[in-house]
Every structure is written in structure tokens, then in C-alpha cells.
Homo-oligomer: A and B are copies of this chain.
Amino acid sequence: MLNSNKLRYLFSSDKKLYQSVKNIFGYYPGNIHLYKLALRHKSATTKIVNGVRLNNERLEYLGDAILSAIIADYLFKSFPYENEGFLTEMRSKIVSRVSLNKLSRKLGLQYLIRSGDPSAKAKSAGGDAFEALIGALYLDKGYNFTSKILIHRIINIHFDIELLIESEISYKSKLNEWGQKEKRNVIFKVEEEIGEKHKKQYLVAVEIDDKIISRSQDYSIKGAENLAAEKAWTKLEEEI
């Protein structure tokens, strides 16, 4: 005999979403409402309940933290002989906006996100929705399950860790090579040291012909330079 949950599923307009979650993460969701909320971009907010906007921002806040913790653990155990500076840098590469937006496109989240602003899909709505989905998964199934899914279905499949380690230098050198070829003056400037001693971050700007193109911060100058270079590179690619 079919129970009411199964009936609800079979005749539900959410059937597509059940299937999508299964395709992406490898399991059927328990509470489908969490996943629906995770895919609702703030531009598609239709209701405000007791002062809370019904969109994915709260879940994104939660998912962002859970994602960081799981990746921190994963890297801690994967690299027993690396210092915390390396681990911090590697994590920021994995969870950077650029990286999560790319991931969300690979996962096809653009077809699932509800958005009231057509341009939002092209911006960081994808990465945000991915984080919100992690928040939903965590509330639905708990930390250990989320960790297993994230590592086996996402990190191991969609990230090339060896490549990420190398990518440390590649954007900065890419940008410098481009500057030499195009006779443009590319400069990296440390503008600011932010935060307290042990957690100090560096704010680095990329200037091309004396015009600031991008800024980024990180726990090392090298890391910040590279993140800023990556941003600048993305901008240049868009312009070309």
C-alpha cells in the first residue's frame, strides 16, 4: 500500500526536484521544502513571514559555514604535512565565488533556480544556491551525511585538487604574461593589512595601466595576489 508520503511524491509538482536532487547528490531528499527554499533566489522573494524574507539567504548563511567546516576537515586530513596557511588557501580556492559559480553551472543549477531577475542567473546566484543546498542537506540529513555526500559526490568528482594546488601561481603569471604580450603595465599592490595579528589578511589590488581592476584579500600576500589576479582575469575575458 502506498503511504501518504509516497502518494504525495508521485503526484507532486516537486517530482522534478526530487529527481534533480537525486541526480546531483545521489539521494532522495526527505523534506523537499528545504530544497525548494534553497533554490529561491532573493530576487524571487514573494513573501515576508514575521520579518523573514522567504528566499535562500538564511540557508546560504548556514550552508556557507557547513561547507567551510567540511572542506576544512577534508583538507586537514588529506594534507597531514601541510601548515595551516596552505590549508586556508586551498579552502578559499574551493569555496571562492568563482569556483562555486563554475560548480553550479556544471551541476545545472541554473535550470532549477527560481529567480525574479534574469541577470541573477549569470551572476553569483549559482554559487549562492549551491551553498543554500548544502544548508538544506545539512538540516535534512545531518553533518556526517552531508560530509560524505559532499566529498564523494562533489569534491572527488568535480574538483581536481592537484590542479588547484598548481593554480596558486597560474593566474598571476597568466596576467603578467598577458601584460608583457599586450604591452600593458600590470602591478600588484598590497593596499592594506586587515584584522588582528594571528588572523591578519592582506588586501591586494591589481592595477593595469594605473587603473585598479580588482581587489582581493587572503591570509597570505601570495594568496591575495592570486585571487585578485583571478578576478582581473575573469574581467578581461568578459571584455574580450
Chain A residues close to B by CB (< 8 Å) = 49-53, 57-58, 60-62, 64-66, 68-69, 71-73, 76, 80-84, 87-88, 91, 97, 123-124, 128, 138, 142-144, 147, 192, 194-199, 203, 215, 217
Contacts and interface: CB of A to CB of B under 8 A. Distances in A.
Given A65-B68, A192-B203, 10 more contacts: A49-B81, A52-B82, A52-B83, A58-B84, A62-B73, A65-B71, A73-B138, A97-B198, A124-B196, A194-B194
A189 to B, nearest CB: 13
A88 B57 CA distance: 11
Contacts of A61: 72, 76, 84, 87-88
Contacts of A57: 83-84
Contact of A83 (B53, B62, B68, B123): B53
A65 B217 CA distance: 18
Q: Which of A82, A84, A195, A203 neighbours the largest number of chain B CB atoms within 10 Å of its CB?
A: A84
Nearest to A147: B143
Contacts of A87: 58, 61
Contact of A65 (B62, B73, B124): B73
Q: Which of A76, A87, A197 neighbours the largest number of chain B CB atoms within 10 Å of its CB?
A: A76
9 closest residue pairs by CB, A with B = A65-B72, A69-B69, A61-B84, A143-B143, A50-B81, A65-B69, A57-B84, A62-B76, A97-B196
